[in-house]
Amino acid sequence: MRYSGFRVLAEGLRGGKGWQPFWRKAAPAAEYDAIVIGGGGHGLATAYYLAREHGLSRVAVLERGWIGGGNVGRNTTIVRATYMLPGNQEFYSAALKMWQTLAQDLNFNLMYSPRGLLMLFHSDGQRDAFARRGNAMLLQGDDAQLLDRAGLRALVPYLDYDQTRFAVHGALYHPRGGTVRHDAVAWAYARAADARGVDIIENCEVTGFDIAQGRVGGVQTTRGAIRAGRVGMVVAGRSSELAARAGLRLPVESHVLQAFVTEGLKPFMHQVISYGMGHFYISQSDKGGLVFGGDIDFYPSYAQRGGLPRAEQVMQAAMTLMPAIGRARVLRSWGGIMDMTPDGSPVIDHTPIDGLFVNAGWNYGGFKATPASGLCMAHLMATGQPHPLAARFRLDRFASGAVIDEEGTGATHHLH
Partner 1 sequence: MRLICPLCGARDRREFTWMGAASLLARPPPGGDFVAWLHERDNPAGPLDELWLHEAGCGALLRGRRDTRSHDCAPLQLAGGSA
Binding site for partner 1 (CB under 8 A): 238, 240-241, 244, 249-254, 298-303, 307, 309, 342, 398-399, 412-414
Residue 12: count of CB within 10 angstroms of its CB: 9
- State phi, psi for 31 to the nearest 5 degrees: -150, 145
How far apart are CB 233 and partner 1 at their closest, in Å?
A: 14
Q: DSSP readout, 143-194?
A: --EEEEHHHHHHH-TTS-TT-SSS---EEEEETT-EE--HHHHHHHHHHHHH
Helix pair 182-195, 88-106: axis angle to 10 deg:
70
Q: Kindly state the helix (H) or strand (E) to which residue 314 belongs, with its residue range.
A: helix 308-321
Residue 217 or 307 having the CB closest to partner 1? 307
Mode of pairing for the β-strands spanning 347-350 and 356-360: antiparallel
Three-state SS at 7: helix
- CA dist 244 and 205 (Å) reads 14
**CA angle 33–34–36, rounded 5-degree value:** 160
Q: Kindly state the helix (H) or strand (E) to which residue 282 belongs, with its residue range.
A: strand 280-284
How far apart are CB 130 and partner 1 at their closest, in Å?
A: 29
Residues across the chain: 416
In 66-128, beta strands by DSSP E: 78-79, 117-121
Residue 25 or 414 having the CB closest to partner 1? 414
How far apart are CB 301 and partner 1 at their closest, in Å?
A: 6
Handedness of CA 363, 64, 76, 380 (dihedral sign): positive
Residue 143: count of CB within 10 angstroms of its CB: 17
Residue ranges of the alpha helices (H) in 163-274?
182-195, 239-244
How far apart are CB 348 and partner 1 at their closest, in Å?
A: 17
How far apart are CB 262 and partner 1 at their closest, in Å?
A: 25
How far apart are CB 241 and partner 1 at their closest, in Å?
A: 5
How far apart are CB 293 and partner 1 at their closest, in Å?
A: 19
Amino acid at 216: V
**Exposed, middle or buried by CB within 10 Å (0-12, 13-18, 19+), for 84?**
middle
Amino acid at 160: D
How far apart are CB 280 and partner 1 at their closest, in Å?
A: 18
- State phi, psi for 38 to the nearest 5 degrees: 115, 115
Residue 118 or 348 having the CB closest to partner 1? 348
How far apart are CB 238 and partner 1 at their closest, in Å?
A: 7
How far apart are CB 334 and partner 1 at their closest, in Å?
A: 16
Amino acid at 202: E
